Amino acid sequence: MSLPYKIVVGLEVHVQLLTKSKLFCGCSTRFGAPPNSQVCPVCLGMPGVLPVMNRTAFELSVRAALALNCQIASFTKWDRKNYYYPDLPKNYQISQYDLPFSSEGWLEINAAADPKKEYKPKRIGIIRAHLEEDAGKNLHDESGRGGDSKIDLNRTGTPLLEIVSKPEINSPEEAKAYLEELRLMLREIGVSDCEMQEGSLRCDANVNIHVAHEGGTAATPLVEVKNLNSFGSVGRAIAHEAERQYGEFQKDPKNYRFDRIPKTTAGWDVERGVTVVQRHKEEAADYRYFPEPDLVPVVVSKAELDLARKAMGELPAAQRKRLQEAPYSLPAYDAGVLTAKGRKMVAYYEEVTAAVGDGKQVSNRLSDLVMGTLNERGEEIDQFPVTARRFAEFLKATSAIPQQDRRDVFKYMLEHGSDPASAMTALGVKTDFDETALRSAVKDAIAANPQAVDDFKKGKTAAANRIKGHVMKANKGAPNDVVQRLLDEELAKA
Ligand SMILES: [Zn+2]
């Protein structure tokens, strides 16, 4: 597991904002429309047209930047990034260069070695977040018969938020955790749907490694792995690229260095699972940035910041923390699982806990019964037929019965839409056991299993479970703790 080098990664993430129209014109941003049906002279870059900024796009960006703990500039401007490419009809992209609207933030991730078992917070610094317009899409004939390439400009001018992290990500797992947290947060605050398949979240990874060498630390040249289209690809590409760089370094430790070789870009070959180094990266100077003359700079008022802060709502990190405190007092892992399922799941959990009282027990039952069922049914919690109120009734009614019986009751409720009491009646699960009757059932079981009693007396404590099994089988729904107590008492006398 331990690597002979340290992985150093900074991620550049582009997310499409959830606006109805594009950044500088009124064209729709709807995904999946016929090619070139959502274009106008402005986003096609016709001569003489003038862009007008979409204020909603700017507001969503500010909301995201605040959620990333960024400083928001009170004055920000637009710049032209000049380059020629078929999917960029204007020959420049309107972006932000030296005065981005936000900078210097951070995002907290779970950097635990086993995130299923624990929560270990780590802050990943954010260098900046800025707003820019997207380019179009080249459609190549992939039939292999050498057909034409086509261009769809529907996406041209769609608002993109670019979020650049500091190189503080040190493993493929941390990269995945960063992306998951970012996606969760941006979805929850309504900034982006972050659908990777639809291209509304795209990721580039800047990767190099630090190797202990001749008493010091050697850094390898930076490689930017472009257009990673799934979280899995991000992790695998980072691991592969780090290993590849280590190989290069071992061949030529003197020259394969960060300060000797300029940054290059690479693609990720999903099929072969390898990074393919492509070209030397353009420097900022190659793009001939200059201020966009057709757009006025943007001034951000305190009132706008307050509005954006309000629109943000409770962030996942705060929610996770709150769930670990009274009245819930959940372990960090449970709080993380609930939070990752979104605000609606947390609201459901809170409503059930308010009725039932035991926050940890509710969390266990939700993971055990509800979350898996939701996955199977492909449903969200707000579509789930068992409402929070009914789930609370169910937990109260079944608190003392064995786990398998509880599962059966829950399944019955789901299938028949019934309340817990009628489900239990239908299944013949009883909860009103009389202690005297249970005690005699325990005595009978002890009398009927002399071998188990003998084993128990010889110190094989597990033998008691065999006796208990007989009691439980004959008394479906009997409260586990009561049977255990009676058994302990009767075994002591036996
Ligand atoms: Zn347009």
Checking 115-123 for CB contacts under 8 A at 24+ apart, the result is: 115/173, 115/177, 115/336, 116/333, 117/333, 118/332, 118/333, 119/320, 119/332, 119/333, 119/335, 119/336, 122/174, 123/168
Å from CA of 449 to ligand 1 middle: 82
Distance 79 CA to ligand 1 centre (A): 19
Is the pLDDT at 292 greater than 60? The verdict is yes
**pLDDT at residue 428 in the model:** 84
Is it the case that residue 281 has pLDDT exceeding 80?
Answer: no
Kindly give the distance from the C-alpha atom of residue 53 to the centroid of ligand 1, in angstroms, as a whole number.
12
Say how many Å lie between the CA of residue 288 and the centre of ligand 1.
Answer: 25
pLDDT for position 180: 95
Contact 88, 136 (CB under 8 A): yes
Residue 304 CA to residue 283 CA, distance in Å, equals 35
Q: Please check the confidence at residue 1 and state whether its pLDDT lies above 60.
A: no
CA of 158 to the centre of ligand 1 (A): 9
Distance 46 CA to ligand 1 centre (A): 10
Inform me whether the pLDDT recorded for 282 exceeds 70.
no
> Separation of 187 CA from ligand 1 center, angstroms?
26
Residue 323 has pLDDT above 80, yes or no: yes
- For residue 22, report the distance from its CA to the centre of ligand 1, in Å: 7
Average pLDDT over the chain, rounded to whole? 92
Tell me which DSSP letter residue 463 carries.
H
pLDDT at position 328: 96
CA atoms within 13 A on the CB side of 223: 27
pTM recorded for the entire structure: 0.85
pLDDT at 148: 86
Q: How far is the CA of 26 from the centre of ligand 1 (A)?
A: 6
Distance from Cα 24 to the centre of ligand 1, integer Å: 7
H helix runs in 341-462, sequence order: 343-356, 359-365, 372-377, 388-397, 403-416, 420-427, 435-448, 450-457
Interacting residues of 226 by C-beta distance below 8 A, sequence separation 6+: 204, 265, 266, 267, 268, 278
CA distance 353 to 245: 51
Q: Is residue 431 over pLDDT 90? A: no
Q: What is the CA radius of gyration of the chain?
A: 30
The Å distance, Cα 202 to ligand 1 centre, comes to 22
Determine the Cα–Cα distance for residues 275 and 277; give it in Å rounded to an integer: 6
DSSP tag of 21: B
Most confident segment among 429-433, 458-462, 473-477:
458-462
Picking from 248, 167, 238, 236, the residue whose alpha carbon sits closest to that of residue 211 is 248
State the Cα–Cα distance between residues 240 and 238, nearest whole angstrom: 5
Question: pLDDT tens, 95-112?
Answer: 999 999 999 999 999 898
**Cβ contact 226:265 at 8 Å:** yes
**Residue 479 pLDDT exceeds 80:** no
Predicted local distance difference test score (pLDDT) of residue 284: 65
pLDDT at 470: 87
pLDDT tens profile 192-247 = 999 998 889 999 999 999 999 999 999 999 999 998 989 999 999 999 999 999 99
Query: Please, which residues bridge with residue 225 across strands?
Result: 205, 266
| Two tokens, residue 454 | 């003998």
pLDDT of residue 124: 98
Estimate to the nearest angstrom the gap between the alpha carbon of 425 and the chain centroid. Answer: 41
**Distance between CA 458 and CA 115 in Å, rounded?**
42
Q: 416: CA distance to ligand 1 center in Å?
A: 51
pLDDT value for 114: 82
Mean per-residue pLDDT for 457-486?
Answer: 84
| Distance between Cα 33 and ligand 1 center (Å) | 14
Ligand 1 mean position, distance from CA 52 (Å): 11
Residues 239-264 have a mean pLDDT of 95
Kindly report, residue by residue over 116-126, the tens digit of the pLDDT: 777 788 999 99
List the one residue out of 155, 277, 179, 309 whose CA is nearest residue 234.
179
- Residue 42 CA to ligand 1 centre (angstroms): 5
355 pLDDT higher than 60: yes
Higher-scoring residue by pLDDT: 212, 428:
212
Measure Cα distances from 431 to 394, 423, 425, 476 in Å.
13, 13, 10, 9
What's the gap in Å between 49 CA and the centre of ligand 1? Answer: 10
C-alpha 44 to ligand 1 mean position (Å): 7
How far does the centroid of ligand 1 lie from the alpha carbon of residue 94, in Å?
14
Taking the centre of ligand 1 as the mean of its atom positions, its distance from the CA of residue 301, in whole angstroms, is: 28
Q: What is the pLDDT of residues 149-168, one digit of tens each?
A: 899 999 999 999 999 999 99
Locate all alpha helices (DSSP H) within 8-133, ordered by sequence.
Answer: 55-67
Percent of the chain predicted with pLDDT > 70: 99
Whole-number Cα distances in Å, 474 to 20, 33, 36, 436, 462: 63, 63, 71, 15, 20
Residue 146 has pLDDT above 80, yes or no: no
Contact present, 371 and 341 (Cβ < 8 Å): yes
Pairing status of strand 264-269 against strand 223-228: parallel
Query: In this predicted structure, what is the pLDDT of residue 362?
Result: 96
CB 45 within 8 A of CB 26: no
Q: What is the pLDDT of residue 432?
A: 72
Q: For residue 143, what pLDDT is reported?
A: 77
Q: How many A from CA of 139 to the centre of ligand 1?
A: 20
Q: What is the pLDDT of residues 13-60, one digit of tens each?
A: 999 999 999 999 999 999 989 999 999 999 999 999 999 999 999 999
Concatenated DSSP letters for 289-338? -EE-TTS--EE--HHHHHHHHHHH-S-HHHHHHHHTSTTT---HHHHHHH
- Distance in Å, CA 75 to ligand 1 centroid: 26
Burial 377-411 (b: 16+ CB within 10 A, else e): eeeebeebebebebbbbbbebbeebbeebbebbbe
Q: Quick count: other Cβ atoms within 10 Å of Cβ 297?
A: 11
CA distance 69 to 302: 16
Ligand 1 centroid from CA 223, angstroms: 35
CA 200 to ligand 1 centroid distance, Å: 18
Ligand 1 centroid – CA 297 distance (Å):
21
Of the candidate ranges 292-296, 392-396, 459-463, the one whose mean pLDDT is the lowest: 459-463
CA dist 135 → 81, 138, 204 (Å): 12, 10, 16
pLDDT for res 484: 87
Of 373, 374, 368, 366, the C-alpha closest to 350 is 366
Q: Return the amino acid letter for 168.
A: E
CA distance 312 to 179: 19
- Going from the Cα of 66 to the center of ligand 1, the distance in angstroms, rounded, reads 29
- The 10s digit of each residue's pLDDT in 331-349 is 988 999 999 999 999 999 9
Distance (Å) from CA 5 to ligand 1 centroid: 48
Q: What is the Å distance from ligand 1's center to 97 Cα?
A: 23
**Relative orientation angle of helices 463-474 and 450-457, to the nearest 10 degrees:** 140
